[in-house]
Amino acid sequence: MRIISGEHKGRRLKSKSNGRIRPTSDRVRSAIFNILPPDLSEAAVLDLYAGTGALGIEALSRGALSAVFVDVGREAVASIRANLKEMALEERTRIVNQRALAALRLLAGEGRTFDLVFADPPYQSDEAGRVLKLIAATPLLSPEAVVVIEHDPAVRLELAYGPLARTDYREYGGTAVSFYERRPE
């Protein structure tokens, strides 16, 4: 696994995984960032179920201002911490070692807002829909925010969750990626 573009292009990401972390492949990550707007400067990023931190670190490499990484696993947090230290990104980041839904409530309570949210919940769960419902019900998103969620292609997510509407859907082998944005008011 490597950073695809930007300031840290080509740098390898470390994983202290015991097999429980399922990192987003370079192919899927590249496809996601080809769909997103190319200019991520000044973006505040939230990486839920962060694993190695690959999506958030890729965004930082491409100019994002800051990133919050959320994962409940000790191995994942160790990987994220090691990768951020290796690339000297600690000052622009925060790690929240909690379950995603609890972390979303915490961040909303702090008044945080994000321009780009990545979520890669366990495929064998109903977390994808639950996360989208909670994100839609909180003030966590900036007006132009994009939410990118990876899920099993067999999981059929809703076309809309409150003010969030699906704007794109792609499949890459055993991975589906849904993009959500706020509907115009």
**E runs forming strands in the chain:** 44-48, 66-70, 93-96, 114-119, 141-151, 160-161, 164-172, 175-182
**Per-residue pLDDT tens for 160-174?**
999 999 999 999 988
Cα–Cα distances in angstroms (integers) from residue 22 to residues 19, 42, 64, 185, in the given order: 7, 28, 24, 37
Domain at 93, CATH number = 3.40.50.150
Count of domains in the chain?
1
DSSP bridge partners of 166: 180
d(CA 60, CA 2): 14
Task: Give per-residue burial for 22-43: e unless 16+ CB within 10 Å, then b.
Answer: ebbeeebbebbbeebeeebeeb
Q: pLDDT (tens digit, 9 = 90+) per residue, 32-68?
A: 999 998 889 989 999 999 999 999 999 999 999 999 9
pTM of the model: 0.92
Decide if 16 is inside a domain: no
Show the domain range for 81: 26-182
Render pLDDT for 136-166 as a digit per residue (tens, 0 to 9): 999 999 999 999 999 999 988 999 999 999 9
CA 138 to chain centre: 17
Is there a domain that residue 159 lies in? yes
Structural domain contains residue 71: yes
For 80-125, the pLDDT digits (tens) are: 999 999 999 999 999 999 999 999 999 999 999 999 999 999 888 8
Q: What is the structure's pLDDT at 140?
A: 96
Does 127 map to a domain? yes
Instruction: Provide the residue type at 68 as one letter.
Output: V
